[in-house]
Structure 1
Amino acid sequence: MSSAAGSVPTSRIRWRRGRVSATGRSWRDALELTVEVPGDGELQALAYPSLVGVPEVGDDVLLNTTALAQNLGTGGYALVVAVPDRLPPDPEIPGHLVKARYTPLQVTVQGVDEQDTEHHAAIAAADDLAGMPVVVADLHSALPAVLIGMLATDPDLRVAYVMTDGGALPAAFSRAVGALKNSLAGVVTVGQAFGGDLEAVTLHTGLLAAKHVLNADLAIVTQGPGNLGTGTPWGFSGVAAGEACNAVSVLGGLPVGALRISDADPRPRHRGVSHHSLTAFGRVALGGVSLVAPRGLSSELGGQVDEDLAGQPERNVVVWVDTDGLDTALGLSPVPLRTMGRGYPEERAYFLAAAAAGRYAALQVPLPEDAEKEPAALGTSD
């Protein structure tokens, strides 16, 4: 809607200026701050040092408080836009890919697929994932549980995380990614997302980089933290999970769907198998996807999972996976397991389904001839 001639348009950003009174936790490329803001009191803020420098106690900072004012669950911080009186030096890093393009905080990164990188030739020649299993999940909160399922099955596997741009754009916003760093072969940020160990223009080149640069055996694809949903059939950022499965299929990988299953969510559309999973995997993933459910879970939920998955198209196979040991592994998670404000075991069905998808994918990775695997159980009912 255009503003009337001569009128001042309403800002879409809540701007504040304050002074840093304390610094807090730091991880990856993120630093927590306490900022005293006139009229608002003390606010918790987050700075990305690679973008704005390192704020110190006593610095004046310019803040964006838009998400904080709306009380968004994931966006519980004021975000530091600049330290105006102590700007960081100009960047000296190579690269000409621009992400968060044409926003006031657009950043330049070096893409794994651009011409001036050591990996350009490998990415230019790569056209296939050679059957690499890729677990695709709707929500970022599934990431640690999927990884737990993979490494509980085979701790020697190399797992790459490919982060899409449906949620947070900076990978540094995710404390889970920072805490899981030593368990991952690397992080690839694709599309408008940035801050991974490797940057890629598209999900396709990000997947190829996971396989041919990071030498991953497996990959996990999710959006960053901060799922966007509107309560409408198609208006949610997780619909891109279906498109991610299409990318995996096109590149000759094995798409594996981590189902969003809940018996704790108060919203009917997310009870049992969420409509997000049914839409993204059942209607958008046209190349087919293996949908993984924990064996025994449907019975625990009164047969609802069976009922919800009964209408899947023929191209999708429903896989029931034994979960022996996964509850124990989830209970030992190195990061807190939380989704939509609820943790484990309150959301046991959700995290167990994610871990089962990780286990199934791990079982599809070829092993040396002298090694053996237990086959995953296939079936159309629990």
Structure 2
Amino acid sequence: MLRLESGIVQRVIKQKPGMQLVEVLLTSSGHLGQAISYSAEKYAAGDELLLNTTAVRLSLGTGGYHIVVGKILADGAADLYPSSWGHIMKMRYSPWQMAVDAVEEQNSPYHSLFTDEQASLEGTPVLIGELHSLLPTVAGAIREAAPSWRIVYVMPDGASLPIGLSQQVAHLKSQGLVSSTVTTGHAWGGDWESVNIYNGLLAARLTAKADIIVCLLGPGVAGTGTPLGFSGMQLAEVIHAVSLLGGIPFFIPRVSFSDTRERHRGVSHHTLTLLRKFTLRPVLMPVPIWGDERDDRIASQLTEIHKQAGHILLRRAAPSQAQLEKLEGLYDLQLSTMGRSWREDPAPFQAAILAAELAVKSAGAAVSGGRSGFAEPDTLAALALFLTRNGE
């Protein structure tokens, strides 16, 4: 199903860099709705637009928005996504394909940075996770632990493709918590564009000058209730890329004790499936300790993680709920995930804070390695020992 309809703009509801939300009157039905646009073209009351109404017709969880294709023009043409040197197409061969300024392409002023086969992340810590809604918690915790660090967010293409959909990214950039963004694969709209996750991570380090990288999926992940049918499976490739490029992979487990679905209680099966079988390189995974029955459930779930894949678990006391309250107020953040606030389900946010704090502290370790040596099992074990000996 791909449903296209025309609509007339009634008013502009919201506007921010990379996104405009308008109220539209559908021509065919006379129904009012909201439509979201990611183009450089701005709309006003009275403009006639071509809309993709598919998701709303199917009642999908996209916020109830139609998607603006563009203005219906009586004549002439419009460039809805201007570029400078771009010849790399994203959303290739779809009706919405566009040329972007890919950071690594031949005409890019940064091309030479990516021609070195030995280019490395040089031990940069990379926080990897499934839930986009944890980005504010991660960014806020990093800022508290390392106020001067440049935080760069890398968005793969496993969920939302336009980064403009993310209200979190826009807010975090306005607050100075995220320095810049990189969109990889067919995701688009970041400060830097890249062809794939490998060069996207290198771009975060080499062009955006990241002190720490956060790589969470964009908003709108999919799940099917099957063992492998969920968007988070893409994170296996992210882990491999970080490891082979010489970064330090810190994995944020998906944890909840309020989710009504058994497969997501404690440590979600999304985390367990990914780490038990489909990651071929080890990660450091911070695991909160609460000192109650929650610890028993998580311990039983993680029994085989280290044995099967060599992942290193960093079991530490869970950050306090007071830290969450402080972060929320300090940076004007709305901390919620899967429809629940941190007061209803603090566990996922505590796991995110713990991962951020340990990733920052790992930078003080004296480790050495070549292009991928930083993420070798022995080096990760040494990092875990360093964190243990330094008050953790």
**Given the two structures, how large is their TM-score scaled by the length of structure 1?**
0.89
For residues 119-144 of structure 1, the C-alpha deviation after alignment (integer angstroms, 9 at most, x for no partner) is 11112225211111101001211211
Q: State how many pairs are aligned.
A: 360
Q: Aligned-pair distance for 1:286?
A: 1.2
Aligned to 1:64: 52
1:299 pairs with one of 269, 289, 292: 292
For residues 329-382 of structure 1, the C-alpha deviation after alignment (integer angstroms, 9 at most, x for no partner) is 4432533222222222212111111121111111112389xxxxxx6449xxx9
Letter of the 1:326 counterpart: Q
Aligned to 1:3: none
For residues 28-87 of structure 1, the C-alpha deviation after alignment (integer angstroms, 9 at most, x for no partner) is 21011000114251101111232xx11110011111111122222234210111111275
Aligned to 1:260: 254
Moved more, 145-154 or 259-268: 145-154
Aligned to 1:320: 315
User: Which residues in structure 2 correspond to 1:94-173 (within 5 Å)?
Assistant: 94-125=85-116, 127-173=119-165
1:308 pairs with one of 301, 320, 323: 301
User: Percent identity at matched positions?
Assistant: 35
Pick closer, same or farther for the CA change 1:19–1:257 going to 2, 3 Å: same
For residues 240-288 of structure 1, the C-alpha deviation after alignment (integer angstroms, 9 at most, x for no partner) is 1122111111111110100100011111111100010111223222110
Separation in 2 of the partners of 1:158 and 1:352? Answer: 22
Separation in 2 of the partners of 1:188 and 1:107? Answer: 17
Q: Aligned-pair distance for 1:172?
A: 0.7
Aligned to 1:5: none
Separation in 2 of the partners of 1:214 and 1:153? Answer: 20
2:185 pairs with one of 191, 194, 204: 191
Separation in 2 of the partners of 1:200 and 1:329? Answer: 35
**For 1:24, what is the secondary structure of its paired residue?**
strand
Letter of the 1:331 counterpart: E
Given the alignment of the two structures, is residue 84 of structure 1 paired with residue 75 of structure 2, yes or no? no
Aligned to 1:73: 61
Pick closer, same or farther for the CA change 1:270–1:330 going to 2, 3 Å: farther
Aligned to 1:248: 242
2:37 pairs with one of 47, 59, 69: 47
Aligned to 2:229: 235
Separation in 2 of the partners of 1:258 and 1:329? Answer: 21
Pairwise CA RMSD? 2.2
Contact kept in structure 2, 1:149 and 1:359, CA below 8 Å: yes
Aligned to 1:8: none
Letter of the 1:116 counterpart: N
Contact kept in structure 2, 1:243 and 1:284, CA below 8 Å: no
**For 2:275, what is the secondary structure of its paired residue?**
helix
Contact kept in structure 2, 1:186 and 1:197, CA below 8 Å: yes
Separation in 2 of the partners of 1:330 and 1:16? Answer: 43
For residues 179-233 of structure 1, the C-alpha deviation after alignment (integer angstroms, 9 at most, x for no partner) is 1112122100001101100011111111111111111111011121100111100
Contact kept in structure 2, 1:27 and 1:175, CA below 8 Å: no
Separation in 2 of the partners of 1:300 and 1:100? Answer: 47
Contact kept in structure 2, 1:292 and 1:357, CA below 8 Å: yes
Separation in 2 of the partners of 1:330 and 1:215? Answer: 25
Given the alignment of the two structures, is residue 218 of structure 1 paired with residue 212 of structure 2, yes or no? yes
Separation in 2 of the partners of 1:307 and 1:236? Answer: 23
Separation in 2 of the partners of 1:26 and 1:366? Answer: 41
Contact kept in structure 2, 1:47 and 1:55, CA below 8 Å: no
Contact kept in structure 2, 1:241 and 1:281, CA below 8 Å: no
Given the alignment of the two structures, is residue 207 of structure 1 paired with residue 201 of structure 2, yes or no? yes
Aligned to 2:375: none
**For 1:246, what is the secondary structure of its paired residue?**
helix
**For 2:85, what is the secondary structure of its paired residue?**
coil
Q: Aligned-pair distance for 1:89?
A: 4.1
Moved more, 96-105 or 64-73: 64-73
Letter of the 2:135 counterpart: L
**For 2:12, what is the secondary structure of its paired residue?**
strand
Pick closer, same or farther for the CA change 1:209–1:46 going to 2, 3 Å: same
Aligned to 2:13: 24
Letter of the 1:23 counterpart: V
Pick closer, same or farther for the CA change 1:92–1:273 going to 2, 3 Å: closer
Pick closer, same or farther for the CA change 1:349–1:290 going to 2, 3 Å: same
Pick closer, same or farther for the CA change 1:327–1:337 going to 2, 3 Å: closer
Contact kept in structure 1, 2:288 and 2:316, CA below 8 Å: yes
Letter of the 2:364 counterpart: P
- Unpaired segments of 5 or more residues in structure 1? 1-11, 369-374
Separation in 1 of the partners of 2:182 and 2:190? Answer: 5
Separation in 2 of the partners of 1:190 and 1:267? Answer: 32
Q: Aligned-pair distance for 1:302?
A: 5.5
Pick closer, same or farther for the CA change 1:32–1:220 going to 2, 3 Å: same
**For 2:102, what is the secondary structure of its paired residue?**
coil
Letter of the 1:46 counterpart: I
Separation in 2 of the partners of 1:124 and 1:302? Answer: 47
Moved more, 182-191 or 323-332: 323-332
